[in-house]
Amino acid sequence: MFRIQLLVSVLLCCFTFWFHISFGYLITCSGIVPMRYRNDKVSITDFGGVGDGKTLNTKAFREAIYRIQHLRRRGGTLLYVPPGVYLTESFNLTSHMTLYLARGAVIKATQDTWTWPLVAPLPSYGRGRERPGGRYMSFIHGDGLRDVVITGENGTIDGQGGIWWNMWRQGNLQFTRPNLVEFMNSRGIIISNVIFKNSPFWNIHPVYCSNVVIRYVTILAPTDSPNTDGIDPDSSSNVCIEDSFISTGDDLVAVKSGWDEYGIAYGRPSSHITIRRVTGSSPFAGIAVGSETSGGVEHVLAENIVIYNSGIGVNIKTNIGRGGFIKNITVSQVFMENVRTGIKITGDTGDHPDNQFNPNALPYVKGVTLKNIWGVKVQKAGSIQGLKNAPFTNICLSKINLHGMTGPRSPPWKCSDVSGAAIEEPPTCSSTLPLLSSLLW
Ligand SMILES: *[C@@H]1O[C@H](CO)[C@@H](O)[C@H](O)[C@H]1NC(C)=O
Ligand SMILES: *[C@@H]1O[C@H](CO)[C@@H](O)[C@H](O)[C@H]1NC(C)=O
């Protein structure tokens, strides 16, 4: 009986796989949020904006957006940022607008960290991610919005994060560092054809959002810049990320949903997250789920991913006290080169917000399918370590070919408290996951 169930679940994951393989290259995010053409256009220069890299343009941005918000032109308004370097403090976007960066336009964050506004902590985190209490507002911020586009001709949003990274290194940060772009409680968001550079903290953070498209973006930060995650969909649904290059100091894409008792109480999952045709390098993970997953994460598909010079290729991470669930995750068509660990799924990653977490709140991890993963120069192939009192189930590995540093031989796997199946040779994780062929015959 158990075998038959197992067989059925393994075969099911094969079928979803075939569907994605056949159409993976054709599917795009386009349908999720319609692209808007805006008849009404204004330029930041109409509001006194000066792109000389020295003038502070905070007033210009805030006034332009105030006007867009209050004039409420039919079909929304486009705010044009011409070539030039526009220094500004953080600002809020409004609904029904497009922020358009021309080729050669740079919106640059001030270095005046002491005037940076604070916002309340996210309820699903209970505090700032790195310091207790509130957190610095993201450089470009949106709360409760709909129909917002950030696009253009590959202009740059530059967080000038160096000063923040140094505060973190020196241990004198008072509050959690700002994200570069954050949307909260928003829907119908498109971010495309923009370069994001040197974020103080996470780069793009959609939280409590739905219908978000991020495509044709480039995200850059030095390898040693702390916590500069590329894109972190957090307690959000219908998020589609594609055709992007990301090279930062932390995870390239990390799907999250809140932190321990706060995330469990808030109870907002991340679901229907698609990541495709993303390339990049990270000292941590290429594609990550977690470690903050207390609201649950389900229906994640990552495919056609290239990861090089990185710490971990694919990393699913949770913790005791985190609760929540991680279900129905598919990662397929991944090529990795020169990574320390190819695949890592663990139940003991990440710190706690405080000592109030419930040690009996165990995460539930079920239904992770990893297929067609090819790697060269991989130091450690994989490690899948579930929890004794909450083993990971329905873990399906198929066509995983990870070659060592010196040749085609796969380095060893480490697996415990995990069940599921491995389809096809080589027998990855063979101590715990039976080969499908041995189930069949
Ligand atoms: C921007 O939004 C934040 C959070 O929603 C709010 O606290 C702040 O007052 C807003 N700032 C401006 C200048 O409107
Ligand atoms: C902007 O960059 C993207 C991604 O690299 C690229 O596909 C696109 O053609 C570029 N667009 C322009 C207008 O240069």
CATH code of the domain covering residue 165: 2.160.20.10
Q: Which domain holds residue 362?
A: 1-32+252-441
Give how many domains the chain has, as a whole number. Answer: 2
Domain boundary among the residues 185, 216, 250 is at: 250
pLDDT of residue 412: 83
DSSP 437: H
pLDDT of residue 429: 76
pLDDT of residue 425: 58
Contact 96, 147 (CB under 8 A): yes
* Higher-confidence position of 416 and 1: 416
Contact 266, 235 (CB under 8 A): yes
User: What percent of the chain is predicted at pLDDT more than 70?
Assistant: 90
Which amino acid residue places its CA nearest to atom 6 of ligand 2? 216
* Higher-confidence position of 9 and 380: 380
Are residue 371 and residue 241 in the same domain, yes or no? no
By mean pLDDT, which of 31-40, 138-147, 268-277 is the weakest? 31-40
Are residue 165 and residue 27 in the same domain, yes or no? no
Are residue 305 and residue 440 in the same domain, yes or no? yes
Domain boundary among the residues 217, 250, 283 is at: 250
Which amino acid residue places its CA nearest to atom 12 of ligand 2? 153
Closest atom of ligand 2 to 193 CA is 1
Model confidence at 382: pLDDT above 60: yes
Give residue 413's pLDDT band: very low, low, confident or very high (50, 70, 90): confident
pLDDT of residue 440: 46
pLDDT (tens digit per residue) in 143-178: 999 999 999 999 999 999 999 999 999 999 999 999
Model confidence at 13: pLDDT above 80: no
Which amino acid residue places its CA nearest to atom 14 of ligand 2? 153
Are residue 136 and residue 277 in the same domain, yes or no? no
Averaged over 389-401, what is the pLDDT? 93
pLDDT (tens digit per residue) in 15-57: 555 444 445 556 788 888 888 899 999 999 999 999 999 999 9
pLDDT (tens digit per residue) in 218-248: 999 999 999 999 999 999 999 999 999 999 9
Residue (of 396, 308, 311, 318) closest to 350 by Cα position: 318
Q: What is the distance in A from the centroid of ligand 1 to the CA of 92?
A: 6
Are residue 238 and residue 381 in the same domain, yes or no? no
Are residue 220 and residue 354 in the same domain, yes or no? no
Domain boundary among the residues 198, 226, 250 is at: 250
Q: Which contiguous run of DSSP H or E holds residue 67?
A: helix 58-71
pTM, full prediction: 0.94
Model confidence at 271: pLDDT above 50: yes
Are residue 237 and residue 182 in the same domain, yes or no? yes
By mean pLDDT, which of 406-410, 414-418, 428-432 is the weakest? 428-432
Are residue 145 and residue 242 in the same domain, yes or no? yes
Are residue 240 and residue 107 in the same domain, yes or no? yes
Specify burial of residue 36 (Cβ count, 10 A radius: 0-12, 13-18, 19+): middle
Q: What is the distance in A from the centroid of ligand 1 to the CA of 117?
A: 8
pLDDT of residue 435: 64
- Residue 17, token pair as written in the block: 């796989």
Contact 309, 280 (CB under 8 A): no
Ligand 2 site: residues with CB under 6 angstroms? 153-154, 193, 216, 218
**Residue 239 phi, psi dihedral angles, 5° rounding:** -110, 130
Are residue 10 and residue 61 in the same domain, yes or no? no
Tell me the average pLDDT of the chain.
92
Are residue 50 and residue 171 in the same domain, yes or no? yes
Are residue 128 and residue 266 in the same domain, yes or no? no
pLDDT of residue 127: 97
Model confidence at 5: pLDDT above 70: no
Residue (of 133, 196, 160, 145) closest to 33 by Cα position: 145
Mutation test of ligand 1: which of 67, 118, 119, 175 has the most ligand atoms closer than 8 Å to its C-beta? 119
